[in-house]
Amino acid sequence: MITQFSYGTPVETFAVAEDIPVSDHERLRRFTREKGSPQIFSCPLGEGDAVYGLGETMRGINKRGARYISFNYDDPRHRDDMPSMYGAHNFVVVDGESPFGAFFDTPAKVVFDIDAKRDGTLTVACESQDLRLYLIEGESAYDVVKQFLGVIGRSFLPPLWAFGYGQSRWGYKTKLDVSRVAARHQEAGIPLDYICMDIDYMDRYIDFTVNRRRFPNLEDYSARMKERGIHLVPIVDAGIKIEPGNPVYEEGVRNGYFCKNREGKDFKAEVWPGMTHFPDFLREEVRKWFGEQYRVYTSLGLEGFWNDMNEPAIFSTEYRAKGAKPDAERGDPDQPERHTADFKDFFHRLDDGREKSNYEVHNIFGAMMTRASGEGLERLLDNRYLLFSRSSYIGAHRYGGIWTGDNASTWEMLRQNVYHMPSLNMCGFLYSGADTGGFGGNSSRELMLRWLAVSVFTPLMRNHSAIFTKKQECFRFRNPEDFRTIITLRYRLLPYLYSEFMKAALRQDMLIRPLAFDYPRDEKVRQIEDQLMVGESVMIAPVLEQGVKGRIVYLPEPMTEVRFSSEGFTCMDVCAGERTVMVPLNQVVFYIRQGKLVPVGKSAANTAELDLMDVELLGSGKDYEQYVDDGYTKKCGLDRCIVRRKGEKL
């Protein structure tokens, strides 16, 4: 059961897609409410209650015992005590005797104190007086999540090639750089489906331009790469460069499409291209205009994009010199460390006529950019497209996926990748993943292999690194055949992973889940956060520590242990309980639930070579419902599922 409570005059975030009647405020259940600024909602927690949700936040899957701040922020120094990240996902689930969930739908800052003081209380402080609160009551935590997913709308559906392996690096400066990466992958026999182009492909970092000296004849080049099964995926940033002669800038100024400053003029902020204006994405006409700009790329044959710097990230402004720290931030423990006061210096005009500072609606800026891009690409392209973004809010999952931002090459970031996936799924973001190997720092061979063994099971599987780091393409490491083995597993599992993703999206369900959601009566699994369920059949238990040869795995039920090496699959039925499992760096071990099946295909250099119908069924089950389509069509539905029976040939 879902109930909506509305306070003040909420800003429309478009997070909830279904019409839910507003209830009487006096009937507010679960929480007590204290009026004021901020207005505070609080409720007691049982001693054994777990608290899930909050999407992209640090720490474990159970969020209890810490304080979190929903205020989208660009800070690559990810730490365990970091209060804010790139997304705001204000949905929490309390899993206890009487499970319930709460979604605080407001684009302003929200502080979640989840028993941080060890006082047995969940306290939510909403800075804005204008918000909607949705309460969801269910039979279990998983039931609560499924109800929530049912009202926030279906996940974005990328094409099949977006589930292939992607290679990226800030530093591919020319077409020759990209071609060399593709050639080295082919020489090493490492599968590859797309290569991302960071800001260097642009003309002086200006959106919707191409540096014709570095990337001449991009249309022909893109077509030739597609013939080899490789897509090019350019980056798009949030700021539009202030430069006469730039048609996007001139049209935006002429039509009043940019955010305003204190004096009512177009706000100026420095980002990569220099001083820029920010489109007012909260207005429908601006979103339509911005989405149309992608025609520059689609006319070149490009079908995949990643949006960045859309928290928005700011280097300096017309009011603050680069490196200066605004006085308003000093001494405020609720402010992230750098220049959030800038967000009070520019303003949006909402479609209802109200004017709001970015600070007041900050958390939906990036989401509305994603929406603008997705709606534009939907109009421009006949087939499905790839789109993922850095900043997000619940609701943006309907238009694109996300990656978890500028992480680092550390073992803790690998562990955080595991924690993030189910939490993001709870908030609708099925198509998600981390920068495999880490964006900042230098990945070791061991870390990259262990990270790949996790990324094999995440929908977005991209190796991405920063320009000043050691190059970490898989073909550069010693014994590249070990990397080829693990990435080959990804392609052999795609008949299962693609099928499970599409079924979860179309049924508005989770793809990646905590063990506790599938085994709610097993008290031991409530304490396990480094094992996950992937789809209906698979459990993963990755190795997340440096220098170890294996790990202890807990099986809630008898399962089939599957080991993949250069020799292929080896299956063994194992009993429930704890077991010590050795996992060499060049192997991946996963588990198939009792009575379930996993379809695996043949090896492929890219998804264009993949035949989803030509599969072998692993596991102890009798049949499997497989989703199969051409990987491109927009007309997707559960009528495309077929039943595969073990031992039966199609």
Angle CA 42–46–52, to nearest 5: 70
Q: Is 311 a catalytic residue?
A: yes
HSE-CB at 330 with a 13 A cutoff on CA atoms is 4
164 Ramachandran zone, left/alpha/beta (phi>0; psi -120 to 50): beta
CA distances from 296 to 531, 603, 643 (A): 43, 35, 42
CA distances from 173 to 180, 249, 406 (A): 12, 25, 20
Q: Is 406 a catalytic residue?
A: yes
Burial 267-284 (b: 16+ CB within 10 A, else e): bbbbbbbebbbbbbbbbe
Give the C-alpha separation, 541 to 270, whole Å: 44
Give the C-alpha separation, 470 to 491, whole Å: 27
Angle CA 483–488–492, to nearest 5: 155
| Bond from prior residue into 279 cis (ω within 30 degrees of 0) | no
The DSSP line for 64-89 is TTEEEEE---------TT----SEE-
Q: Which of 74, 200, 270, 308 is catalytic?
A: 308
Kindly state the tokens that stand for 289. Answer: 């205009």
Q: Which phi and psi (to 5°) does residue 185 adopt?
A: -60, -45
Q: What share of the chain is helix, strand, coil (3-state, %, to 5)?
A: 25, 25, 45
Kindly state the tokens that stand for 476. Answer: 């550069």
3-state SS string for 288-334: HHHHHCCHHHHCCCCCEEEEECCCCCCCEECCCCCCCCCHHHCCCCC
Q: Is 308 a catalytic residue?
A: yes
Q: Which of 130, 266, 303, 311 is catalytic?
A: 311
User: Where does residue 56 rank: exposed (0-12), middle (13-18), buried (19+ CB within 10 A)?
Assistant: buried
Give the C-alpha separation, 166 to 193, whole Å: 6
User: Where does residue 586 rank: exposed (0-12), middle (13-18), buried (19+ CB within 10 A)?
Assistant: middle
Taking every pair of C-alpha atoms in the chain, what is the biggest distance, in angstroms? 73
Give the C-alpha separation, 615 to 69, whole Å: 46
Polymer length of the chain: 650
Give the C-alpha separation, 335 to 548, whole Å: 39
The DSSP line for 338-360 is S-GGGGGS-EEE-TTS-EEEHHH
- Please state the separation of Cα 555 from the chain's center in Å: 28
Q: What is the DSSP letter of 266?
A: B
Q: Which of 406, 435, 509, 629 is catalytic?
A: 406
Give the C-alpha separation, 68 to 62, whole Å: 13
Give the C-alpha separation, 221 to 288, whole Å: 29
Give the C-alpha separation, 171 to 223, whole Å: 22
Give the C-alpha separation, 572 to 581, whole Å: 12
Give the C-alpha separation, 589 to 583, whole Å: 7
Catalytic site residues? 308, 311, 406
